[in-house]
Chains A and B, each alone.
Chain A
Amino acid sequence: MNWRRSAIAAAFAVPLIGLFVFGLRHDPKDIPSPLPGTVAPTFALEVFAPGQPPLGRPVGDTIRLADLKGQVVVLNFWASWCLSCRDEHATLSAIALTYAGKQVHFVGSLYQDRTDAGTEWIAQMGGQSYPSVQDPKARTAIDYGLYGVPETFIVNRDGRIARKITGPVEANVVTHIVDSLLAVPASTATGGVK
């Protein structure tokens, strides 16, 4: 009789334990994005922070993703109220400068923040080498399936999202991805770099 009870208990316990183990092995905050490999959502956003030469763009200028086809685009969403954005700011700004004159375009996009707060934050951080744009009503952020900031999207030369980086970027990761995308000619770039 005991073996029968044990078998019934096991029939209930094993699937439950399996579910618990499955749950514990997955980080609930690590939500896979469906975007890498897909065509990057288009945007046309106005520059509010010009950046610095040679990467600067005038305030009021409109940056359109469509105009950047054939280039690798690094789109970084940030905000002045975001602590993690402070961690990556100097890294991103320095990396952008190393790609000056190459087919790489860095763009910062302000997320749910006032442009004056963004401008002041950039000044406090010692400047930003590349331009930042404003994203009214977070429409572009939603188009990119944003959960929070910082998040960085790297778009290949064919206009597809190659990689999404959640949280502060690391220099070697960004340069590895950008270099590998630059090595692929525009017409054959397929995205999905892991």
Chain B
Amino acid sequence: MRALLRTAALLLFVSVGAYGQVASPAESAATVIRVAAPRDSVLEARTSAVASQLRCPVCQGLSIQDSPSELAQSMRAVVRDQLASGKSPDEVNAYFVSKYGEWILLAPRPRGFNLIAYLLPVLVVLSGGIGIFVAVRRWTRGTTEIPAE
């Protein structure tokens, strides 16, 4: 009886494992697509990388990669077409900057007035750290000056 139960458990375990290995038709199709069109997936990845850096003009703080708006979709198509035609990501960015100004870049270029966006957080963290260091030193100095009974 115990041997029978053990065999049944083993069969159940193997069948569950086998079920997990079987791919659904959709997964199989996806695998086929991935294998059949490696270039497209590379292009899509490059498109996503560039589109993530560009601001959606009709949204609040979203990139054209993340925005579902029609304009963002059209802009993503432009990014894809330009990359497919052989332009580099920098050239694609330059195209959008020439049309919309630097505002279109989600991360401003680190130069001129834009440097404030990069330097201010560092300055705030540094000055905060110095402030905490000075305060802690004063507190600890104050406690050591208390004469021990």
Chain A residues near B (Cβ < 8 Å): 12, 19, 31-35, 38, 112, 137-139, 141-148
Contact = CB atoms under 8 A, between A and B. Distances in A.
Contacts of A148: 57-58
Give chain B's interface secondary structure class: helix
Give chain A's interface secondary structure class: loop
Nearest to B104: A145
Interface of B: 57-58, 70-71, 74-75, 77-78, 97-101, 103, 116, 127
A150 to B, nearest CB: 14
Given A19-B116, A33-B100, A145-B99, 7 more contacts: A12-B127, A34-B98, A34-B99, A35-B99, A38-B98, A141-B74, A142-B99
Contacts of A146: 57, 71
Nearest to B57: A147
Contacts of B58: 147-148
A144 B116 CA distance: 30
Name the residue among B75, B100, B101, B127 with the largest chain A CB count within 10 angstroms. B100
Contacts of A19: 116
Contact of A139 (B78, B97, B98): B78
B99 A143 contact: yes
A147 B77 CA distance: 17
B70 A112 contact: yes
B71 A112 contact: yes
Contacts of A112: 70-71, 74
Contacts of B100: 31, 33-34, 145, 147
Given A112-B70, A138-B70, A148-B58, A32 B101 contact: yes
B103 A31 contact: yes
A32 B99 CA distance: 11
Contacts of A38: 98
Q: Report, nearest first, the 6 A-B pairs whose CB atoms are least far apart.
A: A145-B99, A138-B74, A147-B57, A145-B100, A34-B101, A112-B70
B108 to A, nearest CB: 13
